Amino acid sequence: MDLSNRTVLVIDQGLYVHIAEKLAESFGRVLYYCNGWRSAFPVSERFNIGAGIDGIERISNAWEYIDDADLIVFPDTYFGGEQQYLRRQGKRVWGSGHAELLELYRDELKTVMKSAGLPVGRYEIVTGIEALRAYLKDNPGVYVKGNVFRGDVETFRNRNWVVTQPLLDDLASRLGPRQSSTVFVVEDPIEGVETGYDGACIDGRFPALASFGYEAKDAGYVGKVVDYHELPAALREVNARLAPAMAALGCRSFYSTEVRVGADRQPYLMDPAMRAGSPPSEAYIELFSNWDELIWAGANGEVAQLRPAAAYAAEIVLRSEWAREHFLALDIPRSVSRFIKVHGHCRIDGRDYAAPLGIREVGAAIGLGDSLEDAVGAALEHAEAVAGLELEFDRNALNAAMEAVAQGREFGIDW
C-alpha cells in the first residue's frame, strides 16, 4: 500500500512518539501534537516533545491541521469524545473511542465483565480515604485501583498496614477535599499466572495474526506471534466476550489485556489497555512490519492482516530518576536506534532527549528473533548500548518473564 501521498496526524500525550516515528516510515507527512503543554502558565517541556525527529512535524495546535489529515491517530486514552466527534465529521480515526471507559473506570468494567459472562474475582468498591484506611487495616494483600486519574494513584498492593499507611497519608494530602469522595476498587489477589493479548481491535473484530506475552511489571516483556485461533483459550474468551461492548463503544485501536489464569483455568481479566500499552507497544510496533496498513484500514472499520517481522519480541524498560523532572540526554548509537523507543522523545541540536513526564520510565530497548532466546539476547545488547544520566534497567526482568512462560504451561497456556 502506497501511503506516501497521505498525511497522518498523531494526537498524543508524550508517551507514544514511537508510534509517530513508525508511521513516518511510510506516510508522506506525519504531524505530531502533544496534548498538555497548554495551560494558564505553560512550560516548554511538553511543547518540545516530537521536535527535531526526522519525518515528524511537531505542531502546536492539532485543530489547525484536522482538515489536512487523511488519518488521525490517537495512541492514548482520554480522547474518546474528540474521536467520536471527528468520526461524525467523516474523518478516518484510529482510537478506542468511548471504549476507553473500560480501562479508565475500573468499577464500571466489573459491571461490563459480569454482563458479558466473564468471571470476576472478589472485590469491594470503597469510597473515601477514611473508608479505605479501615478496609486495608483488616485486609492485607489486596490490590487498590483508582478511576481515571492515574496521576493521583496508580495500582498498588497493600502488603501490610505499616507499609501502606504513609502512602495513604500522602494521598489524602494530595486529594485534599476530594479525599472523601474518591472511589477505589479493591481486589483480592488471584493466584496463578498473568498473560495477555497484544494487538488490535476493530469494531469487536481482531486480525488473524496477533501476539501474546508475559510482563515483568514495569520492567520487561516477552511476546510471541501466533495465529489468532492459536491464542491461549483464556485470551480468546476474554476478547470474544468483550467484543460486543468494544464494538458498541467505537473501538478501532491498539488493544492489550492482562488476564490472570489460575488453577481453575478461568480467565480473570485484571485490566484492559484500550491504547498502545507500555509495555508492549514499544516491542510490537517493530514485531509487525505493516502497522501503517492495519491502522489505515482499521480506522475505516476494515480489518487488515498484520505481517510479522520476527517470531518473538523482548522488551526491557529503561529508567532514570533524573528524567522525572529533567530533560534526559541520551547517547543512542545509530546501529541500535531502531530498537530504542523513547517516551517524550525529541531531538535538540542533534542530540536525543527524553522530555520529563513525571515518571522514571523513559522508554524501552527491544529485541526481535526467531527464538525467544535470540530476542532476549538482542534486547539486552541494545539496552547496554544506550547511555544516559542515572539510566538503568533490570537485567533480571526478562528472566522473570521467561519464568512466567514456564509457569503458564502449568496452567494450560501453551507457548
Check which CATH number belongs to the domain holding 295 and give it.
3.30.470
Residue 289 is assigned to a structural domain of this protein: yes
**Structural domain boundaries enclosing 94:** 7-98
Identify the pLDDT of residue 401.
87
Q: Is residue 192 in a domain?
A: no
Query: Is 371 among the domain residues?
Result: yes
Mean pLDDT of the chain: 96
pLDDT tens profile 376-398: 999 999 999 999 999 999 989 99
Region 181-206: mean pLDDT is 96
Q: Are residues 155 and 207 in the same domain?
A: no
User: Residues 146-152: contacts with CB within 8 Å, 24+ apart?
Assistant: 146/106, 146/182, 146/183, 146/184, 146/185, 147/104, 147/105, 147/106, 147/107, 147/183, 147/185, 148/104, 148/105, 151/358, 152/182
Do residues 180 and 217 share a domain? no
**C-alpha of 5 from chain center:** 29
Q: What's the CATH number where 58 sits?
A: 3.40.50.720
Pick the range with the lowest mean pLDDT from 98-102, 154-158, 255-259.
154-158
Examine the domain organization and report whether 55 and 173 are in the same domain.
no
C-alpha 289/C-alpha 306 separation (Å) is 7
The pLDDT score that the predictor gives to residue 412 is 87
Do residues 312 and 260 share a domain?
yes
Alpha-carbon gap, residue 302 to 299, rounded angstroms: 7
Q: pLDDT band at 133, cuts 50/70/90?
A: very high
pLDDT at 153: 83
- Model confidence pLDDT, tens digit, residues 211-264: 999 999 889 999 999 999 999 999 999 999 999 999 999 999 999 999 999 888
Q: Would residue 360 count as lying in a domain?
A: yes
Please report whether residue 166 resides in a domain: yes
Q: Are residues 235 and 371 in the same domain?
A: yes
- The answer as to whether 105 is a domain residue is no
Domain co-membership, 172 together with 293: no
111 falls within a domain = no
Q: Is the same domain home to 81 and 163? A: no
Question: pLDDT tier at 413 (50, 70, 90 boundaries)?
Answer: very high
Span 285-314, average pLDDT: 98
How many domains would you assign to the chain?
Answer: 3
**Domain boundary pick from 165, 187, 209:** 187
> Quick one: 263 and 359 in the same domain?
yes
Determine the pLDDT at residue 41.
87
Determine the straight-line distance between the first and last CA of the chain, rounded to whole angstroms. 32
Q: What percent of the chain has pLDDT over 90?
A: 90
Asked whether residue 245 falls in the same domain as residue 322, the answer is: yes
Query: pLDDT tens across 41-99, in order?
Result: 888 889 999 999 999 999 999 999 999 999 999 999 999 999 999 999 999 999 999 99
Please check whether residues 327 and 263 belong to one and the same domain.
yes
Q: Are residues 262 and 148 in the same domain?
A: no
Q: What predicted TM-score, i.e. pTM, was given to this entire model?
A: 0.95
Average pLDDT on 165-184 reads 94
> Grid coordinates 516510515 are at which residue?
25
Report if residue 40 sits inside a domain: yes
161: domain CATH number?
A: 3.30.1490.20
Q: Are residues 58 and 178 in the same domain?
A: no
